Amino acid sequence: MQFTVRVKPGSRRGALVEASDDGLVVHVKERAVDGAANEGVVRALAAHFGVAPSRVTILRGHTARIKRIEVDDGTRTVA
């Protein structure tokens, strides 16, 4: 499944995924330096959806706060 998230780096709340009117908002403690926030987003979303971090991919927005994410939850079947 693919969706868009808004990232809030440097959050005091820690890793938190919440719903908003515009979709998901992901709060991470890591700052947006050297990809640390992206790694935090991947870990937070993996925990939220109950999948391994290797199944969460940032498709677009590596340097932006709004990112396009894909989560492979293992439900796809090959015909």
| pLDDT(25) > 90 | yes
Nearest to 25 by CA among 6, 47, 44: 6
Residue 33: domain span? 2-71
φ/ψ of residue 53, rounded to 5: -55, -25
Among 13-22, 35-44, 48-57, whose mean pLDDT is lowest?
13-22
Q: Coil, strand, or helix at residue 64?
A: coil
CATH number at residue 15: 3.30.1200.10
Task: Kindly state whether residue 15 falls inside one of the protein's structural domains.
Answer: yes
Residues 43-78 have pLDDT tens digits of 999 999 999 999 999 999 999 999 999 999 777 655
Q: What's the pLDDT score for residue 77?
A: 53
